[in-house]
Amino acid sequence: MDLISFFNTLFGFFTFISWLISLALLYALIFGFKLPEVISDQLYNYATSVAVFSMIGSLIYSEVVGFIPCKFCWYQRYIMYPLAIFLFIGLFNSKFMKLGYFSFVGFFIGIYHIYLQNGGGSGGSCAIDVPCNLKYVNIFGFISIPVMAASGFLTIFLSLLYYDLSRKKINE
């Protein structure tokens, strides 16, 4: 197995896992389903690990595999990298925990990037040298790097939201 196939398989698997967890969290948030305290206590750690692994994944794709990021990939990195650092610091200093909600902005940038990548907008290109409609990764015909990024941002947001709401209910 070559390097690109290995990382595509690995990050594609992580994307599916994040979808499953996001669906479970969305269900729990919408229908008021209470997750076991053992799980809800770990959601902040999970959000932090998603941010850190997303940051590492983007670095692997650009620095190890050699994919050149487009303009919107950079925008998503501008949010994910500080997000990973702030969430990690938030493990030790709770003042930084709320900064994780900036993941919602990254999610919408990812959604717009998916739209551009699939031919939306004015030709789907945001730069001549690296177009935004270029699909370096195309797992099952629909999982691309922007899909992975948007999934990561959504998973972080929902994990933090459920974590905060479960903390408020415990403190009431």
Are 102 and 119 in contact by the 8 Å Cβ rule? The answer is no
Mean pLDDT of 116-143: 72
Are 47 and 160 in contact by the 8 Å Cβ rule? The answer is yes
Token readout for 34 is 């209470």
The residues spanned by each domain of the chain are 3-29+36-171
Alpha-carbon span 133 to 82, nearest angstrom? 26
Dihedral of alpha carbons 20, 21, 25, 31, sign: positive
pLDDT tens digit string along 26-38? 999 999 888 888 8
Q: What is the pLDDT of residue 70?
A: 85
Q: Shortest CA distance to 75 belongs to which of 145, 26, 14? A: 145
Are 77 and 23 in contact by the 8 Å Cβ rule? The answer is no
pLDDT tens digit string along 49-107? 999 999 999 999 899 988 888 888 889 999 999 999 999 999 998 888 888 888 999 99
Q: How many CA atoms lie within 13 A of 103 on its CB side?
A: 30
Mean pLDDT (the chain) is 87
Q: What is the pLDDT of residue 155?
A: 96
User: Pick the residue with more confidence: 15 or 128?
Assistant: 15
Q: Angle at which helices 103-117 and 145-171 pack, to 10 degrees?
A: 160
